Amino acid sequence: MTDIVSTDWVADHLGDLGVVDVRDAWEYDGIGHLPGAVNIPFDSFRAEEHAAEGSGGANDDSSTGMLPDAEDFEALLGENGIATDDEIVAYDDMHGVFAARFLVTAELLGHDPEKLHLLDGDFSAWQREHETTSDAPGVEATDYVVDPPAESVLVDADAVAAAGDDPETVVVDTREDWEYEEGHVPGAILLDWKDLVDDESRGILPRDEALAVLEERGITPNRRVVLYCNTARRISHTYVVLRHLGFEDLAFYEGSLTEWEEQDRPLETGS
Ligand SMILES: O=S(=O)([O-])[S-]
């Protein structure tokens, strides 16, 4: 399970971690970064275009959304010296949402989720408490191998539509309220991903508070939770937080609303 870790935990384990900074290169170079961090900016591990269901050919019913090609991801991690069995910590300066997307991408492409960690409180927490550097790390290229798991949390649009009729399942829209009001998957519940984040510390809410926010909306660990947003970036953060809180039955709609709308599926409006 991808974990959420403190700056002190990262400081204690720095020598044993592949540290991935997903901010833009100018921030990594100009503002500084964690010691030993490599820079893998957000745009570099996303597909250039959204790939909808069936885009891989007539018999392809998979939805790869914004996931990169396996070879591209292998080359990217390999050239940055990240190995297939590395423990990885990722961070950004956006409350963790971009870093979470990196970690979920790695998980979906087969990196052991037990070895994936999100820095709580993002770069700002590290900057307040620990030294940063502008020194480039020494990088030794690796042969990173993508090997997607046989069982995946990925679901397609049909599964999302069917989930709406299942009382054991809750479909969750992690966008902002105005986006939800303009149009959402019928029956979906609104949970802005930032509602689980403390705006000041940029870290996740204390466990009890986070669980209370979720329970208020009927999102409880005994239910299956199906997540979507626009292009699967914001759900990546919610996915990591829910795993951290102990939610076991999660489904990840990579195609998200982009695909849903491309397929002319129904939308509900209003709050
Ligand atoms: O975060 S997003 O994929 O909805 S743009």
175 CA → ligand 1 middle, Å: 7
In the block, residue with structure tokens 């409180």: 121
DSSP 141-190: ---------SS-SB--HHHHHHHTT-TTEEEEE-S-HHHHHH-B-TTPEE
The Cα–Cα gap between 181 and 59 comes to 35
- Closest by CA position to 94, among listed 27, 191, 30, 12: 27
pLDDT in tens, the chain (271 residues): 679 999 999 999 999 999 999 999 999 999 999 999 999 999 999 987 777 665 443 334 456 788 999 999 999 999 999 999 999 999 999 999 999 999 999 999 999 999 999 999 999 999 999 999 999 999 999 999 999 999 999 999 999 999 988 999 999 999 999 999 999 999 999 999 999 999 999 999 999 999 999 999 999 999 999 999 999 999 999 999 999 999 999 999 999 999 999 999 999 999 9
Mutational test site, ligand 1, from 105, 192, 234, 260, max ligand atoms within 8 Å of CB: 234
State both tokens at 89.
Answer: 């910590």
Tokens of 135: 């020194």
Give me the amino acid identity at 118.
Answer: L
- The domain covering 3-129 belongs, at the CATH homologous superfamily level, to Rhodanese-like domain (3.40.250.10)
Pocket test for ligand 1, best of 184, 228, 229 (most atoms within 8 A of CB): 229
Q: Which CATH superfamily is domain 154-262 in?
A: Rhodanese-like domain (3.40.250.10)
Atom of ligand 1 nearest to the CA of 229: 4
- Which pTM was predicted? 0.94
Residues of the chain with CATH 3.40.250.10: 3-129, 154-262
- Rounded to whole angstroms, how far apart are CA atoms 213 and 14? 33
